[in-house]
Amino acid sequence: MPLRLQRRLNPPLRDVVGCNRLVIDGQLTELDSLRYTPAGVPRMEMKLRHASTRDEAGTPRQVQCEIPALALGEAAQQAALLKLGQQVRAEGFLAQRSMRSMQLVMHIEKIILE
């Protein structure tokens, strides 16, 4: 199908105003090597393990989770300087892994050593 026609049938989502922001601290438990998309955009996949104490229903509680994350472009280059096991703070947004998978993946825009 020609590209233009395809777009008409499948219009890009209008910018829906809304908040999608995630800032999280964690330890790098998996760190793929730096790769590139077919267009040459740097790309890096990783996993962050978060552990902290939060207040919930008036009581402090322990929280643990592992977050799959993906960094593209500049963020991937920042991530490439990091090492497994390091404690980092990542900022970004959440997206579904793919059309077929409901799993959430954090898309990192900025990642720094804690």
What residues have CB less than 8 Å from 103, skipping those under 6 apart? 68, 96, 97
Give least dist CB 63 to other proteins, A.
Answer: 28
Of 8-16, 17-25, 53-61, 86-94, the segment contacting other proteins by CB under 8 A is: 8-16
* Proportion of the chain in helix, strand, coil states, percent, rounded to 5: 10, 55, 35
Does 99 help bind other proteins (rule: CB under 8 A)? yes
Of 37-45, 52-60, 61-69, 80-88, the segment contacting other proteins by CB under 8 A is: 37-45
CB 106 within 8 A of CB 88: no
Does 94 help bind other proteins (rule: CB under 8 A)? no
